[in-house]
Structure formats: structure tokens, C-alpha cells
Structure 1
Amino acid sequence: MTAPYQQIAAGIRARISTGELGQGERVPSTRELMREYGVAMATATKALTTLQQEGLVHSRPGVGTVVGPARRTPVRDGEPALGRDEVVRVAIALADAEGLAALSMRRIASELGVSTMGLYRHVGGKDALVLQMVDRAIADFPFPPDEPAGWREGIETAARLQWAAYRRHLWLPGAVTIGRPQLLPSLLSHTDAVLRAVGRFGVDPSTAMYAAITVFGYVRGVALNLESEALAEQDTGMTADEWAGEQADRLAVLAGELPGFRGLGEGFDFDFDLDQLFEFGLQLVLDGLGVRLEPVRSRLR
């Protein structure tokens, strides 16, 4: 009996051979295949990996998996055939297109046209590779050269740079942690920026560190919704506002028993936007830090 991943691969292969999917056209993503065939992500990923190994498709940054073999960048004289930077770049592109769960050393090797063992010599195992991906993704959003004028501006800069990185790489919030933070140069520079900002209040080291973790935790917490919201919109074909509109009648019935909702007024129209939520919450966090830390600075004067 033909395995499910083979059936999926055969279907896409047939569409390519008949010209239904032409050179450079995007093929269904792993999540689209999951919905269409009712299979797990591992099965959908294996189907696409099979087609990549056959040279029928490859991943294209910002687009997804497209028809045609991957084209490696010509190697200049004296350069190694494969380097760590290239592996990390391709891994980030794959994660951007299909999510971190779809990433595997075998998949990356297939994309690069090298053996899986060859990758380990450059980046170690998958866990080590993900750390390098995180470091590169955050480093692509460097701090401005000028020191911020005040503590608030310093924290705002760090928070917004993190948000921008999370916005570009939806897998990134799930790859970083709070309780056991990854000791990466790019992440440490963000923590250092907040510590320097909070240090202007003259607080004790524990308070300064908790303040930095609070800022980091807030930004990451909101950013974790970016990928799930993108998936929900992909699955339903509706934005958050459109989905809410579909639920309006049901919400009206349920809210009739809840005084807080009734206080919003009949026909209340809420425009949900994660960027607005991030900025709104960031100001609350900064206001709270100011209230908590300003008395400490006052006592030191």
C-alpha cells in the first residue's frame, strides 16, 4: 500500500508533469497539504522533502516551496563549497516559509544538495542550528549608533527592534525562552540595553534583571500570537476582524449576561490589530516601570 506522503508527492508530481504547476510557481505548503489531505505535518513535510530530493521543487525565501531545482550560488576560487552562513540562511528561509516544525537537517541538506552528515560539520545538530538562526535573525535588526536620550526611549528601542524581528520571522518567538535564556550575542545586547536604561534609576541588580525579563517577556508574549493568527487567517480565509464579524450575533447573546460587555454599548466595533496591541501594552509596561522605579531614584538624590 502506498504511504500517504507518497500519494501526496505523486499528486504534486503529476501537476508538475502536466504543466498545471509551472517553473517557479508555488506548490502547496505543508499546512495547506495538512488541510487538504488530513495528514500530520510530518507527513506533509516528508512529501515535500521527497520532491526536493528529486529536484522537482525547492524553497524560495519569502515565497515558499516552488517548482524547479534549487540554484546554488557559484563558488568563488578558494571558498569552501558550503559554509555555515549559507546553511543558516537556507534554514531561516525554510522556517519563514513553512514554520520551525517543518525544519529538519535532512530537509536543509536536500535544499543545499549536500549530505545530511555534511551539515553537522558546519552547524552541529538541529538544536545548535536553531540557536544560530535566532542569533542571525535578531542581529538583522541592529541598535542605532546613538545612545537614547532617556531610559524610556532606550527600552522602547529594544522592544520595537525585537517586535520587528518577530514580525519578519514568525517562528522566532517560539524559538527563544525566558527561564533558560539562550546566551547569544544578539539577545544579550537587547538585555544589556534594558539593563542600561533601568540602571539610570540606581536600582539593585535583581530589580534591574527582573525589569529586563519583564520587557522581554511582554514583547515575546504578544509576538507568540503572530504565527497563530497568520495560520488562523490562512485556515479560515478571514482576518481577525472578519472572524469577529461572523461571531457578532453569538457574542451579543453571550454578552447579554456580562455587564462589562454591555458597558461597551450596542454595536461596539472593535478593530483588533496586533501592532496596536503591542504598542498599547508597551506603554503600560513602561508606565508601570516608571511608577515602580522612580521612587528609588528619588531616594538616591
Structure 2
Amino acid sequence: MALAPYQRIISDVRARIADGRLAPGDRLPSTRQLAKDWGVALATATKAMTLLCQEGVLEARPRSGTFVATPAPAPAGPRPGTTPASAPAQPASGTFVATPAPAPAQPASGTFVAAPASSPARPPGVGRPASGPRSPDGDLTRQRIIRAAIEIADAEGLDALSMRGVAAKLRVATMSTYRHVAGKDDLVLLMADAAFGELGYPDPQPEGWRALMERAARTLWTTFRRHPWLAQVTPLTRPMVLPNLLAHSEQMHTALRPSGLDATSRLDVMVMFYSHVQGLAMQLEQETQAREVTGLTDEEWMDQRTPVLEAVVASGRYPGFAALMTELGEEGYDLDLDRLFELGLRTLLDGLAVTLAKRP
């Protein structure tokens, strides 16, 4: 009997793992690319990837993609004279099922062993003590605490951050961290200031207001890309007075000072550019939170809404939207935040150029 299309994709991935063409930690193409390569519907490719993740063959990592899971280490053989316990049946060669037994400690980044579906994998030190000897509290510094906290927030989001988790990651007593940081709220501000100061604006400065504004916007976007949680910390209506955040404002003000705009207009332009970058960056963290809550990637979530979209198109009430969907065809629309950032930045710069050109 011929295999269903999604089963053919599953068999191909398993075969590639078995013969070494795909190794643990290798990243797979997106489901959209798989659908295009195999000539199947997006839902078919999504189903294949979902089943492979559920079996532990693959694992989805927030903000990164889908990767080949690392096989769990084989248990040690029975000692002479003992009767081995019965082992659960394993699937065909090339597939690896994550076991519910405690996994060895994993590094903060890199390849992770897939955990059971009911218990998402977490980096070490978050919610549980890290293995290994405890570090001397005398080696603890505020900078180490900030760096560890940033690594946790980068990996899991700001909601996963706690003083206990930071202490566990650093292998120190929780109370030791309070000698350097007053609490989580203060720690988040210190993290934000450190993150905003990672790149900076080295000399030489580019010439012209447009080049300066563009460099500021791109530097901010790169910073938010590195740390998706950062966009949640600095609300537009309640700006944080952070030295390293002010450095980005200083860059924009340097660009606009010779423009002839008054102080209010210059601030309006600076807020407009910042809000464009921050507004898109907020989607990075929100997508991660939505994935953790629903267990679905953005593509899987959209696939579940396909019948609703089809009903809207068929209703005839929205001819413009229906025509747009028809024009997109089977490939659909791929929401790319980087592409939207470039489009918005170019539009803002072009519009500001027109405004400045009209001034005396």
C-alpha cells in the first residue's frame, strides 16, 4: 500500500538520520520549504514535522527552528549476576524517543535532548539546582549575575527569570545574589541597560542625517533581535532612563539637530523611529509565549485557521481580501519581521526626507 504524503516525509527524515545525512543538532528546513520541496500542502508538511517532534525524533526550539534531537544516552548494562529489567520497545533504527528519566545537565546553548511532550525541556539552572559543585560565593559579581540573567531571558523569556533560577545557574546560594542586586525588578533594569550597551556607535560617524538615523535604527533592531525580551521592558509611554538606551537617542538627536526641526518635532521623529523598531520586536517575545501556551508554531496555528479563512473568502463579503488570497495562491503569505523592518525603515526615511526638503 502506498504511503500517505506525510508518511513519505517522515520516512525520508528517518532515513536521512539513519544514514548520517542528518546528524543530531542539524536544523531542518521550515515546514513551508518542506511543503514546496515535496509538492504537498503546508498542513501535510506540518503534520509530518509535528509527529516527528512528538516521537522525539525532532525538537522545536523557540526562536531557532526545528532540529534533529540528540538521542538519549543508552543505559549502562546490567551488572554480572543481575537480571536486566525489561526495556520498552524502541522504534525502527534512526528514530530516538526521549525517555522520562532525568536527563544529564545541558549547556545554556547548543544541542538539547528532546524531553517528553508533557514536560518541555528547560536550560539548566532554571527552576532546579544545576549539577556539579557549588561555586564559592566570593567569586560572585553583579556582572556575572546580569550575564546569567540575560542568558536565561534569551533562552526562555522574561517570565522564566527568577533570582532563584539565576542563583542555580551560577551554582550559588540564592541569598548571595541579593548582596549584589536588590531583586528581580532591579535586575531586569540592569539587564536592559547592559543589552542596550552591547553594540554602541564606534567612530567614524557616517555623514548626513539619513545615514545616522539608519544606523541608529539598525543598531536597535539588531539589539532587540539578540534579546527579544528587551522590547517588553521599555514601554513607549513610560521610557526608562537607562544610560545605554540614551546613547541610541543621542545618535538620533545628532542626526536631527541640524535639520531645523524644533525640539518637540525632533522628539516626535525619534519616538516614531523607536516605536517602529520596538513594535516589531515585541512580536518576537509574544510569538515565543504563544508557542509555549499553545504548543503550536505560528505556521501550525495558521494551518488550523485555514477553514476559517476559506469560509471568509467564500462568503463574498470581502472581495478585496478574497482577491488578495487568490493572488497569493498556495504559497500564502510568509510574515517576515526583518522584511517588515526594512520596509518600515525605508518608508520612514523617505517620508522624513520629503518633510525636511519642504523646510527653508
TM-score by length of 2: 0.61
Which blocks of at least 5 consecutive residues in structure 1 are unaligned? 1-11, 39-43, 53-57, 59-67
Give 1:263 deviation, angstroms.
3.8
The residue that corresponds to 1:100 in the other structure is 158
Q: How far, CA to CA, are the matches of 1:97 and 1:207 in structure 2?
A: 39
The residue that corresponds to 1:139 in the other structure is 197
Taking only aligned residues, the RMSD between alpha carbons, in angstroms, comes to 3.3
Alpha carbons 2:134, 2:171 under 8 Å: kept: no
Residue number among 175, 183, 188 corresponding to 2:246 in the alignment: 188
The structure having more radius of gyration, on CA atoms, is 2
Give 1:290 deviation, angstroms.
2.4
Paired AA for residue 15 in structure 1: A
Give 1:243 deviation, angstroms.
4.9
Alpha carbons 2:145, 2:177 under 8 Å: kept: yes
Paired AA for residue 213 in structure 1: V
Give 1:187 deviation, angstroms.
0.5
Task: Map Cα deviations across residues 252-284 of structure 1 (whole Å, 9 max, x no partner).
Answer: 331332132134262513232111011111112
Q: How far, CA to CA, are the matches of 1:289 and 1:69 in structure 2?
A: 57
The residue that corresponds to 2:24 in the other structure is none
Alpha carbons 2:193, 2:244 under 8 Å: kept: yes
Give 1:95 deviation, angstroms.
0.9
Q: How far, CA to CA, are the matches of 1:158 and 1:170 in structure 2?
A: 18
Which blocks of at least 5 consecutive residues in structure 2 are unaligned? 1-97
The residue that corresponds to 1:214 in the other structure is 272
Residue number among 127, 143, 159 corresponding to 1:85 in the alignment: 143
Q: How far, CA to CA, are the matches of 1:221 and 1:131 in structure 2?
A: 19
Give 1:236 deviation, angstroms.
4.7
Residue number among 215, 226, 232 corresponding to 1:157 in the alignment: 215
Q: How far, CA to CA, are the matches of 2:133 and 2:204 in structure 1?
A: 41
Residue number among 85, 90, 104 corresponding to 1:22 in the alignment: 104
Q: Would you say 1:295 and 2:350 are equivalent positions? A: no
- Output aligned runs, 1:106-255, within 5 Å: 106-232=164-290, 235-240=294-299, 243-244=301-302, 247-255=305-313
Q: Which has the higher helix share?
A: 1
Q: Would you say 1:274 and 2:360 are equivalent positions? A: no
- Structure 2 residue matching 1:143: 3-state secondary structure: coil
The residue that corresponds to 2:319 in the other structure is 259
Paired AA for residue 22 in structure 1: P
Alpha carbons 2:126, 2:152 under 8 Å: kept: no
Alpha carbons 1:195, 1:212 under 8 Å: kept: yes
- Structure 1 residue matching 2:340: 3-state secondary structure: helix
What's the % identity of the aligned pairs?
37
**1:244/1:107 Cα in 2 relative to 1: closer, same or farther (>3 Å)?**
closer
Q: How far, CA to CA, are the matches of 1:246 and 1:177 in structure 2?
A: 32
- Output aligned runs, 1:40-51, within 5 Å: 49=127, 51=128
Paired AA for residue 101 in structure 2: R
Q: How far, CA to CA, are the matches of 1:265 and 1:125 in structure 2?
A: 50
The residue that corresponds to 1:284 in the other structure is 347
Paired AA for residue 351 in structure 2: G
Q: How far, CA to CA, are the matches of 2:262 and 2:154 in structure 1?
A: 40
Q: How far, CA to CA, are the matches of 2:180 and 2:342 in structure 1?
A: 39
Q: How far, CA to CA, are the matches of 1:70 and 1:132 in structure 2?
A: 28
Give 1:210 deviation, angstroms.
1.4
**1:195/1:48 Cα in 2 relative to 1: closer, same or farther (>3 Å)?**
closer
Paired AA for residue 122 in structure 1: H
Paired AA for residue 273 in structure 1: D
- Structure 1 residue matching 2:326: 3-state secondary structure: coil
Q: How far, CA to CA, are the matches of 1:209 and 1:15 in structure 2?
A: 56
TM-score by length of 1: 0.72
Give 1:205 deviation, angstroms.
0.7
